[in-house]
Structure 1
Amino acid sequence: MLKVGLTGGIGAGKSEVSRLLASYGAVVVDSDLIAREVVAPGTPGLAAVAAEFGPEVLRADGSLDRPRLGGIVFADPARLARLNAIVHPLVRDRSAELEAQAGPGDVVVHDVPLLAENGLAELYELVVVVDAADETRVERLVRLRGMEEREARARLAAQATRADRLAVADVVLDNEGPLERLEPQVRSLWERLLVRAAG
């Protein structure tokens, strides 16, 4: 089994790379999906978040009000750290469970948005960073996700710098241009990963 860490700042295109790798046959362990799963209604994770941040972060149906919580934590590094202290151990445990289900020849891709921020590079045999300039990422967030520019810049500021992310990269995928230029890079990466997993 080959353990790969995949990361990239918000708006860089990491999710597209993850989707492509899954389509080729990678076992993708998606930290964002798991982070949602561990704070689903009825979970201990959601109870802990509500206890820390108050009932106003819950919707009427009992689910987590992500935009409201995001507005709180992305404006306050100390509160973001408290949220991470609740969610990250739960995500780590669930990720380990999913990885344990992979076969010996599988390529397991851990899709981890905060890989650089949390010093996780050493957990993987290879770290892949999807890269795009900050201005490109802001433009995508405004155009594709409907964010205000101010909000988009705050999200970037809450993450590792581009330089910090590139410093932990073994492989960099350049996603500055259109998606058609990304796919051949990901296909080439996948072929290299298969060879390495087989070796």
Structure 2
Amino acid sequence: MALTIGVTGGIGSGKTTVCKVFKLLRVPIFEADKTAKNLLDTDQQLKSELIHLFGENIYTPNGTIDRKKLAEIIFNDKIQLSKMNALVHPAVRRNFKNWVKQHEHFPYVIHEAAILFESGFYKIMDYNILVTAPQNERIERVMKRDQISRKEVEERIKNQLPEEKKQELANLVLMNDNKNLLIPKIIEIDKKLKEDGKIW
């Protein structure tokens, strides 16, 4: 059975970049955020639960979720966000368990998720890696990437668990601050996992 490694990081931390390096090392990556977005459009059970929660107009006439409308609701209302997560997380977990079975011949697989700790998914992983960076660097990266204001980025950060709390829950912290060399560290982690089944 493949070891399961959770990889997470706050918005703008560079977790996707880290996962791209693992992908180059031929490690299967389960992209939880992409999977969740896909399930919003394809999982019939989830769709009917979301319509019940937010009303029919949460979906566009062609049957895909109205992402702008959904973002307006959940980014401004923590109660609605947690209600939605209570529906989405079980659907993603089911999907992940099936995916792991299909990749069990690999030494390890990666579960990449923005809210690994917040969702409780970290509890079903063998190890968890946190990718982090100084907050100001993260804000600058996201402003540039998403063409949004500093205030909007700060609002999104507020919705995530504080970095200190994430560091307490992680087995390993990778600093992505343009000073520490990330790639040699990732290669070292990959080698240890493939040879010893351990992260350090």
Structure 2 matches for 1:16-95, cutoff 5 A?
Answer: 16-41=17-42, 43-95=44-96
Q: Residues of 1 paired with 2:27 and 2:113: CA distance? A: 15
Q: Which TM-score applies when normalising by structure 1? A: 0.90
Following superposition, which runs of at least 4 residues in structure 1 exceed 4 angstroms of deviation? none
Cα deviations across residues 17-67 of structure 1 (Å, max 9, x unaligned)? 112212211121111121022111573222322221123332343211223
1:177 maps to 2:178: yes
Which residue pairs with 1:195 in the alignment? Answer: 195
Which residue pairs with 1:101 in the alignment? Answer: 102
CA contact (8 A) 1:2 1:196 kept: no
Gaps of 5+ in 2: none
Q: Residues of 1 paired with 2:43 and 2:164: CA distance? A: 39
From the superposition, tell whether residues 42 and 194 of structure 1 become closer, same or farther in structure 2 (CA, over 3 Å): closer
Which residue pairs with 1:186 in the alignment? Answer: 186
CA contact (8 A) 2:58 2:65 kept: yes
Which residue pairs with 2:9 in the alignment? Answer: 8
Q: Residues of 2 paired with 1:98 and 1:41: CA distance? A: 16
1:111, distance to aligned residue in structure 2 (A): 1.0
Higher deviation after alignment, 3-12 or 183-192: 183-192
Q: Which TM-score applies when normalising by structure 2? A: 0.90
1:182, distance to aligned residue in structure 2 (A): 2.6
Q: Residues of 2 paired with 1:113 and 1:42: CA distance? A: 21
1:164, distance to aligned residue in structure 2 (A): 1.0
Instruction: Output the amino acid matched with 1:189.
Output: I
Gaps of 5+ in 1: none
Q: Residues of 2 paired with 1:54 and 1:113: CA distance? A: 26
SS at structure 1 position matched to 2:33: helix
CA contact (8 A) 2:41 2:63 kept: no
What is the count of residue pairs matched by the alignment?
197
Higher deviation after alignment, 59-68 or 144-153: 59-68
SS at structure 1 position matched to 2:6: strand
SS at structure 1 position matched to 2:141: helix
Q: Residues of 2 paired with 1:115 and 1:47: CA distance? A: 25
SS at structure 1 position matched to 2:119: coil
SS at structure 2 position matched to 1:38: helix
Q: Residues of 2 paired with 1:44 and 1:116: CA distance? A: 25
Which residue pairs with 1:135 in the alignment? Answer: 136
Which residue pairs with 2:163 in the alignment? Answer: 162
Q: Residues of 1 paired with 2:9 and 2:93: CA distance? A: 18
SS at structure 2 position matched to 1:39: helix
CA contact (8 A) 2:107 2:193 kept: no
